[in-house]
Amino acid sequence: MIVQIEVSEEGLVKVSDPEWRGKKISLSLPDPEHPEFDRETDWEAIKGIVKKANTLDFPRRTHEEIIRDLHELRG
């Protein structure tokens, strides 16, 4: 999970999510020697990949067929 935070001048971490209020969390900051971890997620590229995946024609199976095949695999 990626959470964007704001650090105040006093060094306080601010997160604008009510679920996090009053909770202690651990932060893992990227190692400066690995700048590849500094990049932000390209959500538009991910949306494009999902749209392309949705157009692929995979054979569809019902949950009954999947369960039957699992039983056959188990023996």
Domain around 54? 6-25+42-74
- HSE of 36 in the Cβ direction (CA atoms, 13 Å)? 1
Does 46 fall in a domain? yes
Q: How many domains does the chain have?
A: 1
Does 34 fall in a domain? no
11 Rama class: left (phi>0) / alpha (psi -120 to 50) / beta: left
Whether 6 and 14 have beta carbons less than 8 Å apart is answered as: yes
* pLDDT of the residue at 65: 94
For 73, the token pair is 């695999």
Q: What confidence tens digit (pLDDT) does each residue in 13-68 have?
A: 777 777 877 887 777 776 667 666 556 778 888 898 988 888 888 888 899 999 99
Does 35 fall in a domain? no
